[in-house]
Chain A
Amino acid sequence: DAGITQSPRHKVTETGTPVTLRCHQTENHRYMYWYRQDPGHGLRLIHYSYGVKDTDKGEVSDGYSVSRSKTEDFLLTLESATSSQTSVYFCAISEPGTGRTTEAFFGQGTRLTVV
Chain B
Amino acid sequence: SQKIEQNSEALNIQEGKTATLTCNYTNYSPAYLQWYRQDPGRGPVFLLLIRENEKEKRKERLKVTFDTTLKQSLFHITASQPADSATYLCALDRSRGGQNFVFGPGTRLSVLP
Contacts and interface: CB of A to CB of B under 8 A. Distances in A.
Most buried by A among B43, B45, B103, B104: B43
Contacts of B41: 109
Contacts of A108: 42-43
Contact of B43 (A94, A101, A107): A107
A6 to B, nearest CB: 9
Contacts of A48: 99-100
Q: Is the interface of B mostly helix, strand, loop or mixed?
A: loop
Contacts of A33: 101
A12 interface: no
Given A42-B89, A43-B89, A101-B97, A109 B105 contact: no
A90 B100 contact: no
B46 to A, nearest CB: 4
Given A90-B43, A103-B34, A106-B45, A42 B104 contact: yes
A92 B31 CA distance: 20
Contact of A94 (B45, B99, B106): B99
Contacts, number: 54
From A43, A94, A102, residue with most partner B Cβ within 10 Å: A43
B42 A43 contact: no
Contacts of A109: 41-43
A104 B89 contact: no
Contacts of B102: 45, 59
Contacts of B43: 1, 90, 92, 106-109
A101 B32 contact: yes
Nearest to A40: B105
Contacts of A70: none
B44 interface: yes
A64 interface: no
